[in-house]
Chains A and B, each alone.
Chain A
Amino acid sequence: MFFHSLKYAFITMLKNKTALIWTLIFPIALGSFMYMAFGNIYEDQALFTEVPVAVVKEKENENFEAMLKELSKEDDEQLLVVNYMEADEAKEALLDEEVVAIINMNEDIDLTIASNSYKATMVETIINEYKKQEKVITDIAKNHPENLAGVIENLADSKNFYTEKNTSDGNQDMMTNYFYAIFAMSCLFGSFGAIEKIGKLQGNVSPLGMRRCLSPNSKMISIVAEFISMITFQTIVQIIALIYFVAIGVDFGNKYPQMIGILFFGSCIGIAFGIIIGSISKLSENTKSGICISVSMVIAGMADLYANGVKDMIEHKAPIINRLNPAALISDSFYALNVYDTNERYFGNMAILGTMTVVLLIVSYLMLRRNKYASV
């Protein structure tokens, strides 16, 4: 009987277009829109590419040219793409945005930029640094020529006193945060399907529920079958969305098994949320859906769906909200996977989501048991 119920729970789930739209099509559409809207900004701003500059050589400067040659050497550390041009040609290239800056080699080294960007700032920093060091060497040569060799040696030997180290292979850019929040919202949207399913199990909510209540089986069999089908469907749908986002170029890192774990527990909490709302027999289905969509959107917003930094602000002001907000937990789990090398925070979040799911399901079951068909 259980497998019969499970089979039809899956069939009805697969044929439920509303559930498919809310849990798969909507998040994919939203994610695609975000990727199109912010993807270019991200690539421009976050992914480093070599900076094209125009150099107008009005006077020889061997040292500066040597530096440019070094910085434009084609290897992993290449910073600049140097194009020697005439002044007019360089201006045109700057206006056409073919180059980020014009470096004029005359008596001094002058810099012309068209707009403020981090690439222009970087070129400016290089020039300023060169000028500073050139001045140091000139001053030393003039005032303390005996120390010149030592100073040059020290400058050449300048090194960083910190080491950059990635804590994981994951992507830590801000745009990916939006996608974490989309997954959180999408998991919570599983609640819509759950409301419908639970309504069809309750004799006092739908004729279908009444007919099912009359069958010679425990209600628990139907509830478990429906829950399993919903979880499986929802998790698979989330995995499809994950594959899609990876395919269009969103970098979630490489901890896929753990990510599937997040999607599973996220689906569990979304569905459990729908089940408990669906168990309130005195509300209409529209009201229940309204509650689910409002709550999902609000708590997904609190997990950075609409603007980055909301979650951090809550973390500083009232961290308990983030510990209890399923959307924040889902989003934070993705973040923790990609940022931290250990899984401690990830497992902590999963444990909270799992516990919340169990509590919601127990309360829902008690509410469903209490409900009796009540029509005069």
Chain B
Amino acid sequence: MGNAIEVKNLVKRYKEILALDHFSLEVAEGEVFGLLGPNGSGKTTTINCILSLLSYDKGEIKIFGKEMKPDSYELKKNIGVVMQNVAVFDELTVYENVDYFCGLYISDKELKKKYVEEAIEFVGLEDYKKFLPKKLSGGLLRRLNIACGIAHKPKLIFFDEPTVAVDPQSRNKILEGIMQLNKEGATIVYTSHYMEEVEQICSKILIMDGGKNVAIGTKEELKKMIKNTETITVDVMNLTQEHIAKIKEIPHVYAVKYADNQLVVNCSGGKHNIVRIIDFFQNNDIAIGRVNAQQPTLNDVFLEITGKELRD
């Protein structure tokens, strides 16, 4: 399969600010591609450039192998977008909203009707067809937003933080829906600040910062890129500085913190790190409580790569 999206050396400036700095990206057809980055990293600018909503200074953007321009209507027919902000008409009912947006892509009345019904069923809004958006809860509104973006059965769908401010049930329903669309053949580009969601559904993840691509790969590949491979936590009382110094000497241990009777040991590489730690306490005749070993999460990866300082 070819690439759904190809971005090469994209440069975008806002006066003095370099929003995208020779940014490149490839999304293969059939992938669920996660685009991560702190606020102001250039995610929205990238998506807007890809969608031709924004002009750029330099670079090349191709969708399904063809150059993407504002009047690339044939390409646009295959693209769906679900934005962070709900984009529906307040005056139209659920059915009318989906029908309107589907009708912008599908001319055949029978086919349009079928697609609209399917989209409403897909997001589980069958009982709300005649409801106005203002009568819907936050979760239902998000689902309507999704239905409007995918009703025309696009081959490439952008989801920009679609689960913001929704309850766990609705979030789960939305994520299941996205996976279902992917199974049906759609390529997904997903942006979110919820790392667990990205970890759950994305087959490939790109982390960007300062308008640049700083890391790309599967979640496993990304986790291997960082120093920390295992975090071991031990509940233990009355440890001395001498003990802590000895723990630091254990192979693969690169950081140790002790506070409030809890010891946190960060390891980099190696196997059986937890056994070596427990052995240390047994050999020194120190009583320990609960012991926990945790693999790094995508959140750890994200924070290590992009830094922990606050962004705007």
Contacts and interface: CB of A to CB of B under 8 A. Distances in A.
A214 B77 contact: no
B199 interface: no
Contacts of A376: 14, 17, 19, 40, 42, 44-45
Contact of B14 (A200, A212, A214, A374): A374
Contacts of A11: 91-92, 96
Given A216-B73, A373-B48, A8 B96 contact: yes
Interface residues of A, number: 27
Given A1-B104, A11-B92, A11-B96, A216 B77 contact: yes
Closest 7 CB pairs of A and B: A207-B87, A15-B91, A207-B85, A216-B73, A215-B104, A216-B76, A373-B53
Given A1-B107, A376-B19, A210 B86 contact: no
Interface string B99-113: 011011101000000
Contacts of A339: none
B85 A216 contact: no
13 contacts: A1-B104, A4-B107, A12-B91, A210-B83, A214-B53, A215-B105, A216-B77, A217-B104, A372-B54, A374-B14, A376-B17, A376-B40, A376-B44
A97 to B, nearest CB: 55
A213 B83 CA distance: 13
A206 interface: yes
Given A8-B92, A206-B87, A211 B101 contact: yes
Interface of A: 1, 4-5, 8, 11-12, 15-16, 200, 203, 206-208, 210-218, 372-376
B103 A213 contact: no
Residue of A5, A213, A373 with most chain B CB atoms under a 10 A cut-off: A373
A216 B74 contact: yes
A4 B83 CA distance: 23
A208 B87 contact: yes
Given A1-B104, A376-B19, A376-B44, A214 B92 contact: no
Question: Which bracket fits the contact residues of B?
Answer: 35 or more
Given A8-B100, A8-B103, A208-B87, 5 more contacts: A212-B104, A216-B76, A373-B54, A376-B17, A376-B45
B89 interface: yes
A215 B92 contact: no
Contacts of B73: 216-217
B44 A211 contact: no
Interface string B30-56: 000000000010101100100101110
B63 interface: no
Contact of A4 (B76, B85, B86, B104): B104
Contacts of B76: 214-216
A43 to B, nearest CB: 43
A213 B76 CA distance: 10
Nearest to B42: A376
Contacts of A373: 48, 53-54
B28 interface: no
Contacts of B53: 203, 210, 213-214, 372-373
Contacts of B77: 216
B125 interface: no
B79 interface: yes
Contacts of B42: 376
A8 B44 CA distance: 29
B88 interface: yes
A206 B83 CA distance: 11
A73 B222 CA distance: 109
A16 B107 contact: no
Given A4-B103, A214-B76, A208 B91 contact: no
B51 A214 contact: yes
Contacts of B105: 215-216
A214 B79 contact: yes
Nearest to A218: B71
Nearest to B85: A207
Contacts of B17: 376
Contacts of B79: 214
Interface in B117-149: 148-149
B81 interface: yes
B92 A15 contact: yes
Contact of A214 (B45, B81, B88): B81
